[in-house]
């Protein structure tokens, strides 16, 4: 048997048996909050032994998954290359102008979100020039229950009860009963609206983005100042642009957007 195909077993931070692949991803995901980390930093963040971190980091460097910055590391070009395949250039070229138009029309920040487990990841965005928001950056990962876009995705995914609900503000919904009620309303009305749950003084409006079979592939979210919020106008505009994104994705002929069939 090819040794590369065998999972090398080890012990993780909590004593659980962890594969070499899982340990490698522990190291890679540690860079989410800091772009440059040393071996000691990685060991502290992952809970892995320093010698293990050093060995795996060197292997990741050899494969181009990490780059060196002096004695420290950062995510390498190979990871950027592979990550770019998730949201192909052809799809980006078709969808980005739609997001830019929506941003210009509304004056609000615009994000396209995808559900990853119980988190959302921003896969495309168009932000106002003067935006000071900490929400909606390209590649940003946040717990899904916090934002309007995440609530849309949870409402259609149907698995909101996997882990504790963390709060970003005092308005964040952390009670499971309240969240379930909110998600039922979101699914009934086809949109989510939140006020100050992700950021103080800012609101979010989101609608689902579908493929041609009606499966929810992502959510289109607008965020901006709560003052002067016109929910009806924003949701009507967002819904229209959500349909435009679906049509544009189909024309782009990118498999995961246009042709993925609904779940059984």
Closest by CA to 72, choosing from 119, 34, 21, is 34
Given this model, what pLDDT does residue 250 score? 62
Question: Among 29-38, 39-48, 152-161, which stretch is predicted with the lowest mean pLDDT?
Answer: 152-161
Question: Which top CATH class is 3-77?
Answer: mainly alpha
Q: Is the pLDDT at 152 greater than 90, yes or no? A: yes
For residue 53, the number of C-alpha atoms closer than 13 Å in the C-beta half-sphere is 23
The mean pLDDT value of the chain amounts to: 83
Q: Kindly list the domain boundaries of the chain, sorted by start residue.
A: 3-77, 86-258
The pLDDT of 6-27, averaged and rounded, is 61
What mean pLDDT do residues 124-137 have?
88
Instruction: Decide whether 3-77 matches 86-258 in CATH topology.
Output: no
Contact 142, 33 (CB under 8 A): no
Read off the pLDDT of residues 182-226 as tens digits, 9 standing for 90 and up: 999 999 999 999 999 999 999 999 999 887 777 888 899 999 999
Q: Is pLDDT at 10 greater than 70 in this prediction? A: no
Q: Name 240's Cβ contacts closer than 8 Å, sequence gap at least 6.
A: none
- Residue 246's pLDDT is what? 78
Q: Where are the beta strands (DSSP E) in the chain?
A: 9-11, 17-19, 66-69, 72-75, 109-116, 119-126, 141-143, 192-195, 202-210, 216-225
Give, in words, the CATH class of 86-258: alpha beta
Judge whether 43 and 30 are in contact, CB under 8 Å: no
């Amino acid at each position: 048997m090819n040794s590369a195909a065998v999972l090398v077993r080890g012990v993780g931070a909590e004593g659980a048996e962890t594969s070499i692949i899982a340990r490698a991803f522990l190291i890679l995901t540690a860079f989410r909050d800091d772009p440059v980390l040393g071996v000691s930093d990685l060991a502290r963040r992952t809970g892995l032994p320093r010698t293990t971190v050093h060995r795996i980091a060197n292997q990741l460097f050899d494969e181009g998954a990490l780059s060196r910055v002096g004695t420290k590391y950062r995510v390498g070009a190979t990871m950027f290359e592979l990550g770019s395949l998730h949201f192909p250039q052809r799809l980006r070229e078709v969808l980005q102008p739609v997001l830019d138009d929506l941003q210009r029309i509304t004056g609000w920040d615009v994000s396209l979100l995808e559900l990853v487990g119980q988190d959302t990841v921003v896969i495309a965005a168009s932000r106002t020039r003067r935006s000071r928001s900490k929400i909606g950056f390209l590649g940003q990962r946040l717990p899904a229950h916090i934002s309007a876009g995440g609530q849309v995705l949870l409402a259609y995914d149907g698995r909101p009860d996997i882990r504790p609900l963390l709060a970003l503000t005092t308005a964040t919904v952390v009670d499971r009963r309240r969240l379930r009620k909110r998600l039922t309303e979101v699914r009934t009305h086809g949109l989510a609206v939140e006020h100050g749950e992700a950021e103080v003084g800012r609101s979010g409006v989101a609608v689902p983005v579908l493929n041609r079979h009606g499966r929810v592939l992502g959510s289109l979210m607008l965020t901006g100042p709560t003052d002067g919020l016109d929910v009806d106008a924003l949701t009507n505009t967002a819904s229209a642009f959500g349909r435009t994104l679906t049509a544009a994705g189909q024309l782009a002929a990118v498999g995961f957007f246009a042709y993925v069939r609904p779940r059984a």
